[in-house]
Chains A and B, each alone.
Chain A
């Protein structure tokens, strides 16, 4: 049963987007099961063949007749699962930094930051040698200005 006066004449006249929005996304059904029926949520209606048969993109080009359409064919059609998995693995390997690399980087970073804030005299001094007994090493004290003695 159709609501002739309301829906069809409204549909024929020129409408702006704002007038149409209330009805835009709802599908009308003439037999609504009762509100308390469990079936209402069980059956979903799908009007198009596209999702049922998994139809592909509608433009084709064969033997390189139109290169742009061939590119579109690759882009738009759903890619195979195995292909996408391999691509993911490869990209992850290239961008991830392993733990060892991270530790090495961090070590050298600490060194260079220490050097940056060291005074000129300390920076120029050569590296200390490893002392097995860990004896106390004498540190150079900063030289102060000596007043001339009379």
Chain B
């Protein structure tokens, strides 16, 4: 299965393609055949003895044994450990309800902030933006968010932003902005001094020194989603010159 998967890396696969556990024709008598472990990421599922593709896209591979489907979508499905931007909608007793763009709202406990105790409640109002991560996110339970990591430190999570602009882009662009050697980010770095928060649910928040610059950056990011690299660099150059 591992070799079958490796052959297809970089190819377009459709839902329904499957990889089954191969039985070798030649069984070596000298050494024990050790089955290799495969980590299947988003877009691939285990079904019985086989590995099924459940999203159409390109198969990607990372050493030593990780495979996943690179696909494009706008609707976010929560996954444990991902950091997202949420909007607080309801403040009821001990729990906030946060909208992150999924099928239901996530709950965020008031104790899940750094330095929060029963007496010392965090200062969170309805309508605030929170940068938080999922601690429970599966399809059978209500998603839960926390603004603190496992050792109790905030690490930049929590309520943020006075001013600035929140807008949505596709999930692919959000991931491209967060990838290690991102071209879009390096183009953006040279443009204006600004602050940017990227949520993996496709929400971006931008703040710059003037309203006009903020709007320029927001428009640039929304439009460069479907552009090729040269087109995008041309657009950024025009923005830097002040034409936009």
Interface string of B148-182 (1 = CB under 8 A from A): 00000001100010000000000000010011100
Contact A28 B138 (CB under 8 A): yes
Contact B42 A61 (CB under 8 A): no
Q: How large is the interface on A (under 10, 10 to 19, 20 to 34, 35 or more residues)?
A: 35 or more
A142–chain B nearest beta-carbon distance, Å = 66
Contact A43 B141 (CB under 8 A): no
Residues of A within 8 A of B195 (CB): 59-62, 65-66, 69
Residues of B within 8 A of A33 (CB): 46, 48-49
Contact B62 A62 (CB under 8 A): no
Residues of B within 8 A of A8 (CB): 140
Please measure, in the bound complex, the distance between the C-alpha atom of A46 and the C-alpha atom of B137, giving whole angstroms: 12
Contact A55 B175 (CB under 8 A): yes
Residues of B within 8 A of A37 (CB): 49
- Could you say which of B6-14, B118-126, B196-204, B235-243 contacts chain A? B196-204
Judge if B89 is at the interface, Cβ distance under 8 Å: no
Q: How large is the interface on B (under 10, 10 to 19, 20 to 34, 35 or more residues)?
A: 35 or more
Judge if B51 is at the interface, Cβ distance under 8 Å: yes
Interface string of B104-145 (1 = CB under 8 A from A): 000000000000000000000000000100001111111000
Judge if B30 is at the interface, Cβ distance under 8 Å: no
Interface string of B180-194 (1 = CB under 8 A from A): 100001001101111
Please measure, in the bound complex, the distance between the C-alpha atom of A9 and the C-alpha atom of B47, giving whole angstroms: 27
B12–chain A nearest beta-carbon distance, Å = 18
Contact A29 B189 (CB under 8 A): no
A42: contacting residue among B36, B42, B191, B199, CB under 8 A? B36
Using CB atoms, name the residue of chain B closest to A23.
B141
Contact A48 B82 (CB under 8 A): yes
A78–chain B nearest beta-carbon distance, Å = 9
Contact B47 A24 (CB under 8 A): no
Judge if A115 is at the interface, Cβ distance under 8 Å: no
Please measure, in the bound complex, the distance between the C-alpha atom of A141 and the C-alpha atom of B35, giving whole angstroms: 85
A50: contacting residue among B45, B81, B142, B198, CB under 8 A? B81
Residues of B within 8 A of A51 (CB): 41, 66
Contact B194 A54 (CB under 8 A): no
Please measure, in the bound complex, the distance between the C-alpha atom of A52 and the C-alpha atom of B71, giving whole angstroms: 13
Judge if B215 is at the interface, Cβ distance under 8 Å: no
Contact B197 A76 (CB under 8 A): no
A residues whose Cβ falls under 8 Å from a Cβ of B: 2, 7-8, 11-12, 14, 20, 23-24, 27-29, 31, 33, 37-39, 41-66, 69, 72, 75-76
List 16 additional contacts besides A43-B46, A56-B180, A65-B207; criterion CB under 8 Å.
Answer: A11-B142, A12-B142, A28-B139, A37-B49, A43-B37, A43-B38, A43-B40, A46-B40, A46-B41, A47-B41, A47-B79, A50-B81, A59-B131, A59-B160, A62-B188, A72-B155
* Closest A-B pairs by Cβ, 7 of them: A63-B193, A48-B79, A55-B178, A47-B79, A52-B41, A65-B193, A60-B196
